Structure 1
């Protein structure tokens, strides 16, 4: 290594040798071994699930539920995770748990463990997840739990814990989820909890809490769910300040003995679910317009009077409106379902029973999927139309449930001795496999009827549509939604150990990010396709080998870290982070930092009128910075354990990437619990916006081809010109942005991965082994099966984008996969039946070539796909052929500006992978405003010389 400081080389050699020595010599810290033995002795294990805990070393002898890692500070392995979910354990939790000083996850949910929570758990300052739900724990909450400065999730619900909530919990300044519902907690809710700036979900329902509702809770800046049902705040009112919870999605104060008037909740822009039933609220219902996101309003069993306000007639997402058992009078508003979306399987329940309503004029116009209940009102006098249409019979709305639609005839076709099942949705005939079974529950969903959101839920999980099957679902008390899921292999081969562990990890580590409408979720059980072992908690030889491999890898990584550290010290480290506390933002030289106040000012306090998009990461707002620059501000949703990593990844990558087809990062905000990225504003939004059925104007083929070429150029830069090269991992139409001239810019680098670094001889592997991440429908199938990521994984995703461009279809829709559907149509000679009907002018031959390229990109095998440079060259050929055709036939009538071949294909940053011809480029303008009435010729014309 020429030019390397000899002292540095010596340090590296010594550190590498020492690290490798540690890797092969490590055993579990003896203190932790003794602690685990004490924990084992405190538990009763009638099923023998902990039989591996009887001998050997915990970290290297396959102890069930133990995950370890090595430490740079000593030569021992340390217990990082204790995962004992649903093993039928009883007994008590040993005080020795506090000796597991490196523990990050403690999960003993859904057992029968009794006794109290050991206060010594408060000593584990590294703890991030404390999961004790569904046991028989009693006693008080130890104040020492407030010392867990890194805790992000506390779930102690469904136990028998009593006494008050310690004020020390206000020191849990990183906690995102506090789930303490279904216990026997008493006393006042500490107003000090308002200091929990990262708190997203506060669930305290079904306890014995009393006193007043702290008005200070309105200071929680990102709180989305406040659930306090079935407590006793007798004689108290709902604080007026609660209307200032601008991020609140769900407010449940059912059966809390509350009095006074109902607050005006129209000031909460994101609210989707209100339940204030079974209180003593009085006065009229506020008449201001509620959020368009509203799905459920339950104000039943109060003393609300006056008329039903007309603002309840303009809620497009409404599923249930319950006003029964009040003293409402006057008529039911005309066409109360007027603006509610009732397409497909959507339903609307309007329960007005037992009031004093006098008129309902829309009986004859009642849609089939709207149920109106009017029993106990003056409307229901004998002989009324309401009575004739059976709207006056007393009814109780039954709970919704769903069962599997798989036919028994298919199940019978599989061998029964192995427990195999037929996956009816699989594209592979005769697919008899053993699925992974998952017991899953939505703890506080923001809707009343799941069938409307079932497709959205499936798309949110990181599995292909034909892999995921909802065997059944049913509402439970809460209301909570319990599901039985089955996850089938991607092909006819059974899952291997690595695939099973990957699936298990996604659920038990909360790596799945659901849209906010689904609320928090929890894992109830896991049934793996492996016999004679505890289903969710087995540790295989592969896992043990992973520990050894991880130790060796860790040694190598440590050497690399030392190298990087020393090199950065020598070159004046450009990235620094202030260490003055949790509220201190990171600082990155060369990237502008913005304060939260600046972002609030730029977006009119994050007004819903400024919101221009939303995804799994959070919301995107249009803003105007102090210097007048228009910007897109991506505000990260709180609650994801991976959020900080992805946030920092995107900043670090974009700060050194500069290309006309990559979105430009202006700056970022990292203050307290807020994380925002500020990009250049793209006036034409995302590519997905323009391909959706609701887009105002369809794009012609030339523009679609222009976008395809720009996207490919941006990704080619990542693969070949970035240093080191980058795999994007999340190419999709919603991550391709369009500027004022419809130039494509690739965005969202939160999941990106650095390509393998060449060795001393300049060679590097073409792929990297990593956990599967990405978006269902765009995921490379070989990457999904093997965890091996390569540059052609991006090629596959871009191929799906190409298919969307030419068909207008979604990647997955109603169980249909775009790749499979297009391949089937092409093989059946029906390719042109797949073309977007709104793309009314195109050359058939050019479209055929483009479709062929897209299909090559979407081949299942990595080695069969073209490289990105080959994709770009092929697009150049199609572009020139199409441009020649357009010039001869003057068909580009939707373009409102001039653009050229060179403007799309030539790039001043790098042109090494493009062949630019020396002939004059083709330029064409559109000023005619005319709409073509016929198709282009059925072949591409030859290129003129």
Structure 2
């Protein structure tokens, strides 16, 4: 009775462990993350059905679109979500608090949807988060203090929403954050001076909000600051801190329409400054006479109350594109040599806008090059009887920021129309046609006013950043938008072939969506508006399938097979020990007749013929038990023939007991037993053949090892339990 109860208990334990191992191998993604993803999906409205497959299978091992996982398991034995790439899917609804359960996520991308509600404070639980990309939605509410404690955050991109409230002081803790893109919201209150503690901040974009109070002079202490853009806020009663003129790293300072008072900033101490805009304020006094950096392309001091004369220091700036001083109280003479030292080749131009001032004198004749536009209307000099030779500059003329498109003129014949082929205009192979990728792209804070002279430099910068040849990138169109920001339509072409392969399309997409292209000083920060595969949409694999390597997936199945095989062997061993006190180590001479449904009784000759007489060319595996051969049975069925070596032979009774047990084991991760052979000095088991290569081909390092290690621990427990059971 005691032995029967012990056997019953052991059977229950084995059943529990088998179920647990099966769950381990079937559940690839951490279960709490699966629950979180379902909650996220439930809080969103998806009219285009882009997330319909989020209810089927496993996220990391299945087919969940836009869910990208790590390709190795964590220490807990599970795969985890690395990135949500939900860019421009026409989603609405809200962001679920369960986002915080994706604690190992690095990129959270919901850009360019119509998602409302507030940002959940639980986002602060995602300690691994590097990119928080929520721009272009309908988000409201305030910024959670908890975001200020995400230690690895590199980029906060929440622009073009309706977020209100103040900037949390906790954001001063974001020691790794380089990009604060919070423009075009409804943020209010003062810019926290505590932000001056940020050691990595590069871009501070807070324009088009409701910020007020004074400009913190402490911002000048930021050691890596390149761009400060605070346009269209209300710092009434505040002046520009003089310390801003000592930010030696600064490339661009834009404080347009901020209700600032006091004197204009002396920016002569900023050695790399390329863009200065302090227009549409109430600045008074003379313009500082210090020489600005030779890098400068744009100087905009217009629409203030500045007086005095135009300094001679504005002459001889080699990269100057626009000098705007209109609508001030400037008097004295019109400068006549600002264009000195400027090379006007390569479509370079210069705008000098002095209209609506009090300029009265022309010290020297105006003899500018053809690419220089001078605007003097609204000055007394235009009404003087002695200055009739400047009438061409006194006409009312509006300045239009230039846009453009690629010149598609070519002597090549048209490309085939059966597919969306286009000519690669600058290909080294003449008249090569290919199918391009299209990218909508925007420079958020460029350091110039006119893009045309920088177009070739931009093509080189972006193509090299994408690891492409320069001719593979075309700027199809470009257009200035409010900001000013520069929107572009780009075409990416394959390298001297007609098509990209799918791996290259995914690589390029990852470069854009992961912000892996290095920022440029002159071109500033960029943003991806849309990545448009076009024709390639139909040939791209699902992103989740690429998130796990083939070896990882096969390794998990193999681990499951190994665990199930060991378990079945242990069960067999217990049953055999229970029914027999010993196992014969020698072959019984007499064959026992036995019939098992679905299992064939095969002869030695049949199996020898199926394996080319057990040829080495048919050998597919080998172990301590013997060898496994690939064979083809007489009915054409593929088979794996396990031939037991002499030292491992069992007695016939025990061999048939094993066959009977194996015939009853059915599992999706186990191959089926289809036959056996029991003749003199030969014992063979015949399994169905799975044509996926051998173990050596498919085992994949840590992906298999991490899962197999977890299974191995459970199997060790089973071995210990089995030994206890066998001892009885």
Residues 36 and 384 of structure 1: is their aligned pair in 2 closer, same or farther, counting only changes over 3 Å? farther
Instruction: Check if 1:377 corresponds to 2:382.
Output: no
Q: Secondary structure at the match of 1:160?
A: coil
Partners of 1:394 and 1:319 in 2: how far apart? 20
Partners of 2:168 and 2:179 in 1: how far apart? 16
- Match of 2:153? 151
Partners of 1:130 and 1:68 in 2: how far apart? 17
| 1:516-571 alpha-carbon deviations (Å, 9 max, x no partner) | 111100101011144666xxxx971586155134747999xxxxxxxxxxxxxxxx
Partners of 1:142 and 1:413 in 2: how far apart? 55
- Match of 1:509? 514
Partners of 2:415 and 2:168 in 1: how far apart? 56
Partners of 1:250 and 1:325 in 2: how far apart? 23
Does the aligned pair in 1 maintain the 2:154–2:178 contact within 8 Å?
yes
> What is the deviation of 1:386?
5.9
Partners of 1:401 and 1:389 in 2: how far apart? 28
Partners of 1:26 and 1:341 in 2: how far apart? 65
More relative contact order, 1 or 2 (CA 8 Å, 6+ apart) = 2
Partners of 2:24 and 2:522 in 1: how far apart? 45
Partners of 2:555 and 2:372 in 1: how far apart? 60
Partners of 1:140 and 1:176 in 2: how far apart? 21
Q: Secondary structure at the match of 1:400?
A: coil
- Match of 1:329? 331
Instruction: Check if 1:37 corresponds to 2:61.
Output: no
Instruction: Check if 1:218 corresponds to 2:223.
Output: no
Q: Secondary structure at the match of 1:380?
A: helix
Q: Secondary structure at the match of 1:475?
A: strand
- Match of 2:524? 519
Matches for 1:125-274 after TM superposition, within 5 Å: 125-274=127-276
Matches for 1:619-638 after TM superposition, within 5 Å: none
> What is the deviation of 1:476?
0.4
Does the aligned pair in 1 maintain the 2:88–2:110 contact within 8 Å?
yes
- TM-score, normalised with respect to structure 1: 0.54
| 1:197-241 alpha-carbon deviations (Å, 9 max, x no partner) | 100000000000001001111111110101111000111111111
Cα RMSD (Å) = 2.2
Does the aligned pair in 2 maintain the 1:363–1:389 contact within 8 Å?
no
Q: Secondary structure at the match of 1:76?
A: coil
Partners of 2:483 and 2:203 in 1: how far apart? 15
Q: Secondary structure at the match of 2:407?
A: coil
> What is the deviation of 1:418?
2.3
Residues 446 and 542 of structure 1: is their aligned pair in 2 closer, same or farther, counting only changes over 3 Å? closer
Q: Secondary structure at the match of 2:156?
A: strand
- Match of 1:631? none
> What is the deviation of 1:171?
0.8
> In structure 2, which of residues 281, 284, 288 is the aligned counterpart of residue 282 of structure 1?
284
Instruction: Check if 1:368 corresponds to 2:373.
Output: no
> What is the deviation of 1:466?
1.8
Q: Secondary structure at the match of 2:285?
A: strand
> What is the deviation of 1:390?
1.1
Residues 217 and 542 of structure 1: is their aligned pair in 2 closer, same or farther, counting only changes over 3 Å? closer
Instruction: Check if 1:431 corresponds to 2:432.
Output: yes
Residues 344 and 131 of structure 1: is their aligned pair in 2 closer, same or farther, counting only changes over 3 Å? same
- Match of 1:292? 294
Partners of 2:389 and 2:87 in 1: how far apart? 53
- Match of 2:89? 87
Does the aligned pair in 1 maintain the 2:74–2:80 contact within 8 Å?
no
Partners of 1:41 and 1:363 in 2: how far apart? 72
Residues 274 and 419 of structure 1: is their aligned pair in 2 closer, same or farther, counting only changes over 3 Å? same
Partners of 2:515 and 2:85 in 1: how far apart? 13
Partners of 1:368 and 1:109 in 2: how far apart? 44
Q: Secondary structure at the match of 2:396?
A: coil
Partners of 2:68 and 2:335 in 1: how far apart? 60
| 1:762-812 alpha-carbon deviations (Å, 9 max, x no partner) | xxxxxxxxxxxxxxxxxxxxxxxxxxxxxxxxxxxxxxxxxxxxxxxxxxx
Instruction: Check if 1:124 corresponds to 2:126.
Output: yes
Partners of 2:555 and 2:154 in 1: how far apart? 26
Instruction: Check if 1:447 corresponds to 2:452.
Output: no
Residues 542 and 505 of structure 1: is their aligned pair in 2 closer, same or farther, counting only changes over 3 Å? closer
Partners of 1:27 and 1:484 in 2: how far apart? 40
Q: Secondary structure at the match of 1:390?
A: helix
> In structure 2, which of residues 387, 402, 406 is the aligned counterpart of residue 404 of structure 1?
406
> What is the deviation of 1:313?
0.5
Matches for 1:691-730 after TM superposition, within 5 Å: none
Instruction: Check if 1:484 corresponds to 2:486.
Output: no
Does the aligned pair in 2 maintain the 1:122–1:148 contact within 8 Å?
yes
Matches for 1:558-597 after TM superposition, within 5 Å: none
> What is the deviation of 1:95?
0.8
- Match of 1:460? 461
Aligned residues: 530
Gaps of 5+ in 1: 1-20, 556-945
Partners of 2:255 and 2:544 in 1: how far apart? 46
Residues 405 and 209 of structure 1: is their aligned pair in 2 closer, same or farther, counting only changes over 3 Å? same
- Match of 1:394? 396
Q: Secondary structure at the match of 2:293?
A: coil
Residues 384 and 50 of structure 1: is their aligned pair in 2 closer, same or farther, counting only changes over 3 Å? farther
> What is the deviation of 1:51?
2.4
Matches for 1:886-925 after TM superposition, within 5 Å: none
- TM-score, normalised with respect to structure 2: 0.70
> What is the deviation of 1:26?
6.5
Matches for 1:872-887 after TM superposition, within 5 Å: none
Deviates more, 1:440-449 or 1:538-547: 538-547
Gaps of 5+ in 2: 1-21, 557-728
Instruction: Check if 1:474 corresponds to 2:475.
Output: no
Does the aligned pair in 2 maintain the 1:180–1:204 contact within 8 Å?
yes
* Structure with larger Rg: 2
| 1:316-354 alpha-carbon deviations (Å, 9 max, x no partner) | 111100000000011123312112232221111000001
| 1:381-433 alpha-carbon deviations (Å, 9 max, x no partner) | 255556655100112111210112113885x8223342222222223344222
- Match of 2:352? 350
Residues 415 and 173 of structure 1: is their aligned pair in 2 closer, same or farther, counting only changes over 3 Å? same
| 1:365-389 alpha-carbon deviations (Å, 9 max, x no partner) | 2110111100011221255556655
Partners of 2:537 and 2:346 in 1: how far apart? 45
| 1:426-481 alpha-carbon deviations (Å, 9 max, x no partner) | 23344222101011100000110111111111111222122111100011000000
Does the aligned pair in 1 maintain the 2:68–2:543 contact within 8 Å?
no
- Match of 2:670? none
- Match of 2:67? 66
